[in-house]
Structure 1
Amino acid sequence: MNKLNLLAMTKPELYKVIPEKIPSMKKFNINQIQTHIFKHGRPDIERFVNLSMEHRNCLNQHFEMSTPILKDEQISKDGTKKWLLNFGGDADIETVFIPDSHSKKVDFFKGTLCVSSQIGCSLNCSFCRTGTQKLMRNLQSHEIINQVLFALRQLGGFPLPVSNAKIVDNIVLMGQGEPLYNFANVSKACRSIIENLNYSPYRITLSTSGVAPLIPKVTTEIGCSLAVSLHAPNDSLRDVLVPINKTYPLKILMTSIQQYLRLHQYNKNRRVTFEYVMLDGVNDSDVHAKELIQLVGIEEFAAILRSANIATTVRVSRGSDISAACGQLKSKNESKYLRNK
């Protein structure tokens, strides 16, 4: 008998399905289950100690939790942690915790969790190591949620605090895969994280390489923040660096982003983050920042943008010594680091 995954269902679905399978279980029992999973981070039905043995046996008969197996952990010299997690068979993915080194308290137990949405990737961005791994499949919603629960358990984040002072204070869908090509599972996972783990939608950021038609749905179905992997200011260069641009060129992409922002007009603080990897001699000249000629360094590039009143942050890469930085996640151990240009 195929078991249903408790993490794969919303609370309304649980209220409907569990009593169908176990008629003696009431609404307050389902609330107890939710508390065990999301407030205390318990990964095993046997640890739902305030449920009767009969109820636990019935739950085990019809439902499962399917928590990931830790295959490897690497810790960077800057405190970044990377976990290789297995969800069965060849389903390996990497999840990264980036501590907040800029905190005034220098609190290395608070930071950002980078979550994967697919095993591999199909976009083949020329500078991205993840893109050299063939797409195997989409992650299911419970597998995405499980990355967050696993990280919180590893970092001592349970029991979940009542306040917003969480160890993982931001979640970014910037790991393996293109989240918008797995939108149904990503959307369901994000809504569960918002509802059950008490995260503000603004604490979750979905990063896309530019799947333009689905960008407005980030607002209407999730409500989370948006980051766009831009990496080039014109179509000819972006076609090379980010091949999805051939399908959704910059004009179409920017129109979808404007629609995303219009749908967020009720929140004047809402903005889109544009991600721009500086590639020496490729996209770092005045021509790309100000349509001028000479090559410049990162700070000069940023200064040009700031002079035009564009908010610009130069982000130092974290965890690069353990291949945990942006674009470096890859499930399989292969010697090839970057594809040949």
Structure 2
Amino acid sequence: MTNAAGKVNLLGLTKAQLENFFESIGEKRFRAGQVMKWIHHFGVDNFEAMTNVGKALREKLNQHAYIAGPEIVTQSISEDGTRKWVVRVASGSCVETVYIPQNGRGTLCVSSQAGCALDCSFCSTGKQGFDSDLTAAEIIGQVWIANKSFGTVPAKTDRAITNVVMMGMGEPLLNFDNVVSSMNIMMEDLGYGISKRKVTLSTSGVAPMVDKLGEVTDVALALSLHAPNDELRNKLVPLNKKYPLSVILDACTRYIAKLGDKRYLTVEYTLLKGINDQPEHAEQMIALLQDVPCKINLIPFNPFPHSGYERPSNNAIRRFQDMLHEAGFNVTVRMTRGDDIDAACGQLVGNVNDRTRRSERYIAVRQLEDEKRELSS
């Protein structure tokens, strides 16, 4: 990403991209490691602070590059320790990042788009439509901001952020290249050194891109399922009309098979009172997932204004969980965290100008772009 002066933002560059950048300005490739460590381990955004970089190179960097994350608009802290940042991106829209501390683990939920085109009926983000893809700098910048806020620099010392989930605003697989680059920085030792098992990408079911993901990375995968049959899922997750359950589960199973090493798919299922929380839905889910290596994460619905949905009773949640347990599945119920600051799952809403509202149009355009790339490769 370049600014008006033609300078390159180094924050969003992978190690390989940084090496290419240094070659392009007539410098040795090893400089990439030095600068990357300053940016991500120490949170530095000023070349003058890079004490092992010579003065002449610092001056050259100031001429050709800069380091900048998204603008922090607000930071909120919940009574349970959950934190939420609202940050403004280049499009002018705001997106949200959430940090969830639990049982000695710190999970950062990162956004990949401003708004979302998929319009899942129970998700507040989907109600605002799609505005823009985030750049790699805007995605990894959320990790950079959160890490610095805890004062845990170097990044691998007394680490507050142990896990990252691409489960914030947007569909990560519809911003493929920027999301993959950002995840590579998360896992890079000169970046944040987070294990591939602790970086998770969550998708609503863009099946062709799941296969493409398996060609370039081996991060953990989560599927936002939310319904055990196509008829219901078509209503809750409109993308299902294009990629029905059989298609997306086959793609996810292929991805997990490539990983090997006893890896599994995380299945996310938001429980909606009277909609998808009945015993027959549990029975259908058992049949649907019987041959899929997975663990199931049940998410009681987190209310937001005008959603039209309600949270099931604790008895209904427990009954659903017990049925899955008895069928041999590993099932957890996600504890609601940060709902007092609207940071709970499904509640993220940024200040987004609704430019499309037509998920089918957006997805069709992105697929056409992907097909063009495949034909030219």
TM-score higher than 0.5 here? yes
Give the aligned partner of residue 74 of structure 1: 76
Find the aligned partners of 1:226 and 1:19 in 2 and give their Cα distance.
35
Which residue of the partner structure matches residue 13 of structure 1?
17
Query: Does 2:38 correspond to 1:45?
Result: no
Quick one: structure 1 residues 291 and 120, their matched pair in 2 at CA, closer, same or farther if it must change by over 3 Å? closer
Q: Which runs of 5+ in 1 are unaligned?
A: 104-109, 335-341
Paired residues of 1:235 and 1:250 also in contact (CA < 8 A): yes
Counterpart residue type for residue 222 of structure 1: T
The structural deviation recorded for 1:89 is 5.2
Aligned 8 A contact 1:113 1:168 in 2 = yes
Distance 1:255 1:182 in 2: 22
Cα separation, 2, equivalents of 1:261 and 1:169: 22
Task: State the match for 2:233 in structure 1.
Answer: 238
Q: Which amino acid aligns with 1:61?
A: Q
Q: Does 1:279 align with 2:272?
A: yes
* One-letter amino acid matched to 2:316: G
Q: Kindly report which structure 2 residues correspond to 1:1-341, keeping only aligned pairs within 5 A, or say none.
A: 1-21=5-25, 23=26, 25-88=27-90, 90-100=92-102, 102-103=103-104, 110-161=105-156, 166-195=159-188, 196-265=191-260, 267-268=261-262, 270-290=263-283, 297-332=316-351
Percent same amino acid among aligned pairs? 41
The 8 Å contact of residues 218 and 226 in structure 1, kept in 2 or not, is answered as no
> For residue 79 of structure 1, what is the amino acid of its counterpart?
G
Q: Which moved more, 1:175-184 or 1:25-34?
A: 25-34
Taking a change above 3 Å as real, the CA distance of residues 211 and 26 of structure 1, as seen in their structure-2 partners, is: same
* Cα separation, 2, equivalents of 1:48 and 1:92: 31
Q: CA deviation at 1:9?
A: 2.6
Report the CA distance shift for 1:57/1:91 in structure 2 as closer, same or farther (over 3 A). farther
- Answer whether contact 1:82 1:97 (CA < 8 A) is retained: yes
Report the residue type matching 2:6 in the other structure: N
How far has the Cα of 1:291 moved from its partner?
Answer: 5.0
SS of the residue corresponding to residue 333 of structure 2 reads coil
The question of whether the paired residues in 2 share the 8 Å contact of 1:232 and 1:283 is answered with: yes
Structure 2: which 5+ runs fail to align?
286-312, 354-377
Rounded Cα–Cα distance in structure 2 between residues aligned with 1:157 and 1:218: 31
91-100 or 27-36, larger mean C-alpha shift: 27-36
Q: Is the 8 A contact 2:112 2:166 kept in 1?
A: yes
- Is the contact between residue 114 and residue 133 of structure 2 (CA under 8 Å) also seen in structure 1? yes
* Cα distance in 2, alignment partners of residues 27 and 18 from structure 1: 6
Partners of 1:333 and 1:79 in 2: CA distance: 27
Q: Which moved more, 1:320-329 or 1:113-122?
A: 320-329
Structure 2 SS opposite 1:303: helix
Aligned partners of 1:191 and 1:317: how far apart in 2? 29
Distance 2:10 2:352 in 1: 32
Instruction: Describe the SS at the equivalent of 1:85.
Output: strand
Does the 8 Å CA contact 1:201/1:223 hold for their aligned counterparts? yes
Shift of 1:65: 1.2
The match for 1:339 is none
Mapped partners of 1:160, 1:90: distance in 2: 29
The answer as to whether partners of 2:38 and 2:50 remain within 8 angstroms in 1 is yes
Alignment TM-score, normalising by the size of structure 1: 0.88
Contact 1:73 1:82 in 2 (8 A): yes
Q: Deviations 1:170-195 (Å, cap 9, x if unpaired)? A: 00000000001111111111112111
CA contact (8 A) 1:231 1:278 kept: yes
CA drift at 1:67: 2.0
2-side partners of 1:299 and 1:140: how far apart?
A: 41
Q: Deviations over 1:211-267 (max 9, x none)?
A: 1111133333121001111111001110001110101011111111111122122x1
CA contact 2:78–2:338 (8 Å) conserved in 1: yes
